[in-house]
Amino acid sequence: MPDAFRVTESRRERKKMGFGGVKQKVSVLRSLVVRELHSRFKGTSLGFLWTILNPLMMLAIYSTVFVLVFKAKWLLPDGNTANYGLMLFVGILCHICLTDVISSAGVIIRSNTNLVKKVIFPVELLPLSCVLVACVNLLIGLALVCVYALFTGAELSLLSIGYMLLAVFVYFFTLAAFAFLLATLGVFLKDVAQITPVLGMVLLFTSTVFFSVETAPEELATFLYLNPISSVADTIRAGFTGQRIMVEHLLVQFGCSLLALMLSYVFFRKMKAVFADLL
């Protein structure tokens, strides 16, 4: 097949194969998400339960270390303290969600060579599927947070749910920006797969996953909200503590994420014509 034909999408063929309309793309995207969720736990004894068990085990380990060993406390802006385990749980879930996206997006194109080389397949759905899989797991985790909050006596109201949904909405654009950028770079640089675990660790320890802004050193506190995890996690936490959300930080993240998503998507669209040649 000539290169010129391979890299030029035929609208007629796309419609014939069912990829032309929004409804068809949504259907394909749903299939990709279900396939990924199924493949992650295929062959395991507990199956989809690992989605619940993984964050719970991490919570148990980290809370044991920080609460029992280091006697950590979660300070609030008003001087009171919050349930450290609950605050930590939220932070862990937000971090897992982001690292899930950056680790899978970096290899998503190379892992689906058979689909990428098909002229009529909408390749942009692959990075989006990474984001949706991570968001599904995040929402399941947040449901567990609500249960945990009820058992620990923390506030749980419609405001809490509203803050969660607002935070996840903003986070989606942040995750999508990472996904399209890393999916593109992953085709040209195999090193991306080696860099993403390190990036995940950097994001973990430079955010408010383990500590609040009030307990951070003053020189570090200024930079904590440059990390996309911090604003999202703190917005969710505010729903359980009755604190005011940092609207300005969330709006800045939303604006930056939207801009980054547009730029990374344009970059992806320009580069996807040569994906098949590099795989």
CA dist., res. 203 & res. 69, Å (int) = 23
Q: Which two tokens stand for residue 180?
A: 């399209």
Return the residue matching tokens 């930080």.
249
Regions of the chain short of the pLDDT cut 50: 1-18
Helices 84-105 and 125-152: angle between axes, nearest 10 degrees = 170
What tens digit of pLDDT does each residue of 86-109 get? 899 899 999 999 999 999 999 999
CB 233 within 8 A of CB 142: no
In terms of C-beta density within 10 A (0-12 exposed, 13-18 middle, 19 or more buried), how is residue 139 classed? middle
CA dist., res. 240 & res. 212, Å (int) = 14
The distance from CA 24 to its chain's CA centroid, rounded to whole angstroms, is 25
What tens digit of pLDDT does each residue of 270-279 get? 998 888 777 6
- Bridge partners of 82, per DSSP, are 74
pLDDT at position 189 is 87
pLDDT at position 113 is 86
CB 155 within 8 A of CB 45: no
CB 7 within 8 A of CB 272: no
pLDDT at position 54 is 83
pLDDT at position 279 is 64
